[in-house]
Structure 1
C-alpha cells in the first residue's frame, strides 16, 4: 500500500495544499478541548478506562487534524484507528462495568463487535444513503440494542445511550451529506460531523463516568 497516496474525500478540499480544508481541520480543536476536559475529570475520579477514552479522544483530534491537512493514506489510518479503539474500549467498559460481566466475558463480548460489524455493514450497504458511512451506523444501532439491557440496571445510563444514538445518527447523516450537497454548499458539511461528535464523545465518556460514580456511592 502506498501510505503517501493523497486522498480527496471531502467537499471543502479543492487541492492538496495543507490548509485546503480549514474548517474540517480547525474543528478538531473542539475534540481536543473535550479530551482535555474529560481527562481532568476522569483522572480526578480515578477511572482508568474513562481516562483511556479521554486519551483516545485526544488522539482522534490529532489524527483527524493530520488527515484534513495532509490528506494522505497514512493520515487516514491515524484518523480512523483511534475511532475504532475508542469504540472497543467503550464497549468493554460497558460490558464489564455497566453490565457487570467478568473481565474475560467482557473481552469476549467486546470481540463480538467484529463479526457484528462484518454482518451489519453489508446489510447497510443495500441502502444507498447508509452506504456512505456504513461502518459508523453500526454504533448507534448497537447503542440502541444495549439500551434496554442496560435499563434493567440503570435507567439514566440507558437513557444516555438512547440520546447518544440519536445525536450520533444526526452527525452520521450530516457526514453523509457532505459530497451530496457539495454543489449547493461548497464548504461541505463534514465540519458539522466534527462539531456534533465533539459534543457526543465527551458526553458518552461522562455517561460512563456518572454511572461509575453512582455505583461507588451506592457501594459506600
Structure 2
C-alpha cells in the first residue's frame, strides 16, 4: 500500500466548499493542498456508475495531469424512498446555470427536485436519507487507495442554514436537530460522511 508523505497533494475538485473542508481535515498532517481548479486542470467526465468509480477516475486524472499524488472525493445524497436517488447522480440534479451572480450548479433547484418527488409519494412518505463519501487517492505511478464513509439522517423542508453547501440545508443527521448548513463547520466536520471516510484514511495513511 503506497503512503502519503508531507508535501503537495492535489485535491481533485473545482468545488470551493469541498476544498475548504478537505484542507481543514488534512492540515494536521503536513499536506500542502492545491486544488485541480487552482492548477487549471480540466474536470474529467464522471462516467462511473458508483461513487468509487467516479472518485478513482477523478483522482487518477489529476495525479497524471499534475504528476503529484491526488485525492478525489465523490459524494452524494441518497434518499430511501426514492430508491437511493439521486445517489451517484447527486450533482446532476443541480443542473448548471446562472445563480448568485455567476455560473454553477443550482443546489436550491436540486433540493426542490428531491422535495417534489417525495411530495408526489404522499405526506406519510418516510424522509430517511444518507450522505455517502468515497475518498480515493491516486499516485502518478498508478497506485491507489479508497476509503468510504456514511452518515444517516432525515430530510427537512424548507432548507435551513447558510453555512454548508450542496444539499446541506435540508439534511439533519440522526441524533441532531439542526441541518448540516446550520452547524458550525467544525461541528459538521466532526460527524459528517466525509469525516467518517477521512478517519479511515488517516488510520491507514498517517498511523505511526
- Is TM more than 0.5 here? no
Q: Which has the higher helix share?
A: 1
- TM-score for both structures, normalised by structure 1: 0.28
Q: Which has the higher strand share?
A: 2
- TM-score for both structures, normalised by structure 2: 0.29
Structure with bigger gyration radius: 1
